[in-house]
Amino acid sequence: MCKFDMLTEENFELFAKLKYNNPSCASIDEFNDDMKRIKYIKRLFHKFDNERVLKDKLICNHILILCNIFGVEPCIRMLFFRIEKQYHGFLKTFLNHMSILPKNIPEVNLDLIQTDGRIERHIKKNAK
């Protein structure tokens, strides 16, 4: 069994470092700054959940940057692993919108996660 068949607290950082591909990165601090984007997405989801403030373009930008430096599939696995289950529907909605949601990942059963209609309506409204 491959050590990355499933992300765990023990292998998450190693997985992230092995998948990290940022040619302009000059130090571990830059890697850590890039990893903080996951925390920023979590905060933005929390803000939407509590205050109904949705910064959809900022969320998409963070996801896009993470996909560019880690690769799409590793990025999505890391996001679902680090983001609380209560926000998985938010995440799935954004990944659908960005057309980067894979068929499956080991960390979650994507078929059981429902997208969020409020976010879908907000994105469609702002896309016009």
Distance from C-alpha of 5 to C-alpha of 11, rounded to nearest angstrom: 10
Q: Which residues contact 65 (CB under 8 A, 6 or more apart)?
A: 34, 37
The tens digit of pLDDT for each residue in 36-74 reads 999 999 999 999 999 999 999 999 999 999 999 999 999
pTM value surpassing 0.75: yes
Query: Which is more confidently placed, 96 or 3?
Result: 96
Average pLDDT (89-99) is: 97
Do residues 19 and 79 lie in contact, with contact meaning Cβ atoms separated by under 8 Å?
A: no
